[in-house]
C-alpha cells in the first residue's frame, strides 16, 4: 500500500530518497517492536509475545534472510487474523513515541534532514504493516510511505495480504511512486541494510547500503556502492511533535538539531563520494 502522508508536497523537485525502515532508519524490526503493547492490549498471548521477542533478538544479531522473513511474515499474518483494525491503530498511536523514539539512528535522522533541506521527497518503503509504518513515517517527516497492507473485512483483518511490500515488490512500489509524482529515478536515492532490497536499490541512480548484511555488503563491494554504518540510536522525543499535519520543514529542523554528529559524518561522506 502506498500512502501520501499529511503535509506531503506536490511533486516539483522530481528527486526522492527511498528508505527501508528496519535496521536502516530504526535499530529494530518495527513490527516486532510493538509486541509488548499488543500483548498489553490483549491482541496476542504471552507465548506469542515471547516468540516475538526471540525473533527480534535473532533479527538484531544476524539480520533476517529471505526464508526467515517469509516465516516471520506467515507467523505475523496468522497472528493478526481477526484483530480489530482500529484497536491496532489506536495502540500504535498511543505507544509510538515510547516504542520508536529510542530506536531511530541519529545518522539516519541527519540524512533525512539533509535530503529534506535539498528539496527531496523522503519515502519510507517497508515490509511491515501500513498501520505501523504510516505513523512512523509521519513522525520522521517522510512525504510518502509504501508498506504491506492487510485485507480487512468489517473492520477486522482476514489474514490475507493485499500487497506484500517486500523484495521485488519494493521496486514495484518505487516505480509506482515515481510515475505518480514524476520522480527521476536516475537522480533519486535509496538506502537499505538487506540483500532482499536489491531490486529497490537497483532501480535508483544513487543506491546506498546501511549496516548491510553479508550478501548486500558483497554486492556493494562488487558494484562500488557506498557502505554506511549507523550505530547511534538517539531519543527524539523532545524534538518531534505529535503526528499531525505539522510541516515537514519543522520536523527537519528538529531532526537536524539532535543529530549534529550524524550530520557531520554525512557531510564528510558526501564530499568523499563527490570527489
Q: What are phi and psi of 123, to 5 degrees?
A: -125, 125
CA separation for the pair 99, 35 (Å, rounded): 10
Q: How far is CA 93 from the centre of its chain?
A: 16
CA separation for the pair 275, 74 (Å, rounded): 45
Q: How far is CA 44 from CA 75, 78, 80, 155, in A?
A: 12, 11, 8, 18
The length of the chain, given as a count of residues? 275
Choosing from 13, 20, 70, 197, which is the catalytic residue? 20
Tell me if 196 sits within 8 A of 66, measured CB to CB: yes
Pure H helices in 41-165: 46-62, 66-80, 85-100, 106-117, 130-139
Q: How far is CA 8 from CA 137, 143, 158, in A?
A: 11, 5, 31
Tell me if 249 sits within 8 A of 241, measured CB to CB: no
Does residue 121 carry a catalytic annotation? no
Choosing from 13, 22, 84, 213, which is the catalytic residue? 22
CA separation for the pair 60, 46 (Å, rounded): 21
Does residue 193 carry a catalytic annotation? no
Active site (catalytic) residues: 20, 22
Amino acid at each position: 500500500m502506498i500512502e501520501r502522508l499529511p503535509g506531503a508536497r506536490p511533486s516539483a523537485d522530481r528527486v526522492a530518497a527511498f528508505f527501508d525502515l528496519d535496521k536502516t532508519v530504526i535499530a529494530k524490526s518495527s513490527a516486532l517492536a510493538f509486541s509488548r503493547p499488543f500483548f498489553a492490549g490483549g491482541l496476542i498471548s504471552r507465548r506469542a509475545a515471547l516468540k516475538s521477542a526471540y525473533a527480534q533478538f535473532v533479527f538484531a544479531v544476524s539480520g533476517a534472510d529471505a526464508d526467515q522473513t517469509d516465516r516471520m511474515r506467515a507467523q505475523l499474518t496468522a497472528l493478526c487474523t481477526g484483530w480489530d483494525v482500529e484497536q491496532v491503530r489506536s495502540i500504535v498511536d498511543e505507544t509510538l513515541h515510547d516504542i520508536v523514539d529510542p530506536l531511530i539512528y541519529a545518522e539516519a535522522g541527519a540524512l533525512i534532514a539533509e535530503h529534506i533541506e535539498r528539496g527531496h521527497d523522503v519515502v519510507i518503503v517497508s515490509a511491515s504493516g501500513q498501520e505501523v509504518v504510516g505513523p512512523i513515517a509521519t513522525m520522521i517527516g517522510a512525504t510518502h510511505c509504501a508498506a504491506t497492507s492487510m485485507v480487512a473485512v468489517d473492520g477486522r483483518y482476514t489474514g490475507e495480504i493485499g500487497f506484500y511490500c517486500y523484495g521485488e515488490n519494493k521496486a514495484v512500489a518505487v516505480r509506482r511512486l515515481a510515475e505518480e509524482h514524476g520522480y527521476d529515478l536516475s537522480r533519486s536515492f535509496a538506502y537499505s541494510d538487506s540483500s532482499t532490497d536489491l531490486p529497490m536499490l537497483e532501480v535508483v541512480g544513487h543506491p546506498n547500503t546501511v549496516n548491510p548484511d553479508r550478501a548486500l555488503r558483497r554486492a556493494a563491494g562488487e558494484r562500488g556502492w557506498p557502505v554506511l554504518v549507523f550505530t547511534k540510536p538517539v531519543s527524539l522525543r523532545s524534538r518531534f511533535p505529535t503526528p499531525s499535519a505539522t510541516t515537514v520543514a519543522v520536523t527537519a529542523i528538529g531532526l537536524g538539531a539532535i543529530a549534529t554528529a550524524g550530520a557531520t559524518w554525512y557531510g564528510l561522506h558526501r564530499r568523499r563520494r563527490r570527489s
